[in-house]
């Protein structure tokens, strides 16, 4: 995971997780032994701390394991949003809904990763410096469909069936744009909502 999130690493390597899928496992993006400013003998430290925050965001998006969040990381805005997302996914899983995680191939980029949690939510991370901006996003081969609200910024995304029964992102924040737009060095978490939330 560290290699995927550091400069020059490829997030596509996370499509098939190599971690143990065990609910009893403890998972983390970083710990106190890896932080140079706290430990002069840091082990396998990230060169850029933001990479470690983005790795933590990914850990929070996954279904398995119990995340260990280093206290100061809660000051990074998308980390508390990820905790909220994880709690909601856990609750919906307990209700018998499909919340299985799956890294999607809909985005073929070394710097952007999209993960669905069944049909109940999804996660997008952009580790690159530049904004990821595509006008069209085909999600036909996913479980995603309906209206989703981003947990931190409160904007909505609509995924609908269109021509030939294919599914596309028809709303990203406003009905004036579809596709996807994610700022550089950011992580977003989306929760499925009733479709009338997208009509607002």
pTM of the prediction? 0.92
Which tens digits make up the pLDDT trace of 26-85? 676 665 555 566 566 666 667 788 998 999 999 999 998 888 887 788 899 999 999 999
Q: Per-residue pLDDT for 19 more than 70?
A: no
Say how far residue 108 (Cα) sits from the centre of its chain.
15
Q: Classify residue 167 by burial, with Cβ atoms within 10 Å: 0-12, 13-18, 19+.
A: buried
Task: Judge whether 125 and 4 are in contact, CB under 8 Å.
Answer: no
Which 3 state secondary structure label does DSSP give 140? coil
DSSP E strand stretches across the chain: 26-27, 66-67, 101-103, 112-117, 121-126, 132-134, 146-150, 156-161, 167-172, 180-182, 186-193
User: Could you give all domains of the chain from N- to C-terminal order, each with its CATH number?
Assistant: 2-197 (2.60.40.1180)
Radius of gyration of the chain (CA): 17
């Amino acid at each position: 995971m560290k290699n995927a999130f550091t400069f020059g690493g490829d997030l596509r390597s996370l499509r098939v997780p190599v971690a143990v899928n065990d609910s009893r496992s403890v998972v983390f993006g970083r710990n106190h032994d890896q932080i140079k400013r706290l430990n002069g003998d840091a082990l396998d430290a990230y060169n850029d701390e933001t990479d470690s925050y983005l790795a933590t965001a990914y850990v929070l998006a996954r279904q398995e394991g119990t995340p260990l969040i280093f206290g100061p990381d809660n000051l990074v805005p998308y980390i508390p949003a990820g905790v909220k997302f994880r709690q909601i996914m856990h609750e919906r899983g307990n209700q018998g809904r499909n919340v299985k995680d799956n890294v999607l191939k809909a985005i073929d980029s070394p710097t952007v990763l999209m993960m669905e949690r069944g049909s109940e939510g999804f996660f997008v991370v952009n580790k690159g410096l530049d904004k990821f901006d595509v006008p069209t996003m085909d999600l036909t081969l996913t479980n995603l469909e309906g209206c989703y609200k981003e947990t931190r910024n409160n904007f909505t995304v609509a995924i609908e069936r269109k021509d030939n029964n294919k599914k596309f992102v028809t709303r990203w924040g406003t009905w004036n744009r579809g596709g996807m737009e994610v700022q550089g060095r950011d992580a977003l978490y989306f929760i499925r909502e009733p479709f009338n939330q997208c009509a607002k």
